[in-house]
Structure 1
Amino acid sequence: MTETARQQIETFLSGKGLRRTKQRDVIVEAAFGTKEHFNAEELHEMARRIDRTISRATVYRTLALLVECGLLREVDLGRDQTYYDPNFLDKPEHNHLICLDCDRVVEFEDDHIALMEDCITRRLGFTPSSKTIRIAANCDQLARSGHCAYRDQKLAGTLPAHSHAHAHA
């Protein structure tokens, strides 16, 4: 986590009359110690690896604060639960492609998409305040060969449950 982000959370907490605590610091460390998307339970597990005293309730409260201050974003990965993306600080305009076969999440940016969004919203008389693009797709490699390296590794237990990659289209 960058010093700017640390300052942002400290300023935010101070403005709400809240203080920095050891437990909040551990949760923030866990949340930004990964590039993977995570749900609240996964963050709880990551934080407890650092400090066994972290409670589930503190994780949920801290997640809400991190989202409210703009350090984390809630993302819909189509899995019937809320996931959090720690990568928007570095890449605020990225989108997500989710493989329906192996659950791999590929983050991507594309200047053409940004231009298209701008054209569409202006033409329809709107100014976007936020945007989300989520593409659900099937793996071409799996369809062609019957095997997907990511799916095979996931089934073998050698990949995180929600592995992702980055691409710039």
Structure 2
Amino acid sequence: MDQSVLDRLDTFIRKKGLRRTPQRDAIVRTAFASDEHFTSEELFDRSRKANAGVSRATVYRTISLLVEAGLLHEIDLGGDLKTYDPNFVEKPSHNHLVCIDCGKVLEFADSHLEVLNDCLTRRMGFRPVRQSIKIEACCEQLRKKGVCPNLITARVSGKRLPKRKRQGS
């Protein structure tokens, strides 16, 4: 985890008159331990392993603080759950490819998209601030081989899977 995240959060919570707690620190360390996206429930489960005293309410409040501080970004990866991305501090403009079969999420950046974004927004009288594109796609491994290791891993670990939309809906 990058120390600058902790420093920015520390400054932010002091301005709000709050203080650092072992529970909040455990949640923040867990949220930024990897680049993996998570729901509040997934973060709660992971944080409880790091600190058994972490409550669900503290997780929700900490997520709100992180979003308000600009350290965490809420993204729409489909489904009814809010998903959070810890990578927007380092990469404010990035995109997501979401497999609608297994739920795997890949991040990608492309300079061509950034140029296109810049040209389109300026032509329409705007100034680009950030971009985020979500592409939903079907897993090639599942289509070609009939088996997807990501789908098997997701099911075994109890990870939520995307709801597939029916063709023609």
State the TM-score bracket (shorter-chain normalisation). Answer: 0.7 to 0.9
Decide whether aligned partners of structure 1 residues 107 and 81 sit closer, same or farther in structure 2, where only a CA change above 3 A counts: same
Aligned residues: 161
* Aligned 1:11-22 pairs, distance under 5 A: 11-22=11-22
After superposition, what is the alpha-carbon deviation per residue over 1:92-132, rounded to whole angstroms, capped at 9, x for unaligned? 22210000111110110100011111111011111233332
TM-score by length of 1: 0.87
Decide whether aligned partners of structure 1 residues 101 and 154 sit closer, same or farther in structure 2, where only a CA change above 3 A counts: same
Aligned to 2:2: 2
Aligned to 1:79: 79
Aligned to 1:161: 159
Unaligned residue ranges in structure 2 (runs of 5+): 161-169
After superposition, what is the alpha-carbon deviation per residue over 1:63-93, rounded to whole angstroms, capped at 9, x for unaligned? 0000111111111101211111112223222
Distance 1:136 1:125 in 2: 29
* Aligned 1:65-104 pairs, distance under 5 A: 65-104=65-104
Contact 2:38 2:83 in 1 (8 A): yes
Distance 2:80 2:132 in 1: 17
1:51 to partner: Cα distance: 1.3
TM-score by length of 2: 0.87
Aligned to 1:151: 151
What is the one-letter code of the residue matched to 1:143?
A: R
Decide whether aligned partners of structure 1 residues 61 and 154 sit closer, same or farther in structure 2, where only a CA change above 3 A counts: closer
Aligned to 1:166: none
Distance 1:56 1:152 in 2: 28
Unaligned residue ranges in structure 1 (runs of 5+): 163-169
1:36 to partner: Cα distance: 1.3
Distance 1:101 1:44 in 2: 25
Distance 2:105 2:158 in 1: 11
What is the one-letter code of the residue matched to 1:89?
A: V
Aligned to 1:115: 115
Mean Cα displacement is larger for which, 26-35 or 139-148? 139-148
1:160 to partner: Cα distance: 7.6
After superposition, what is the alpha-carbon deviation per residue over 1:42-78, rounded to whole angstroms, capped at 9, x for unaligned? 1111111111111111111110000111111111101
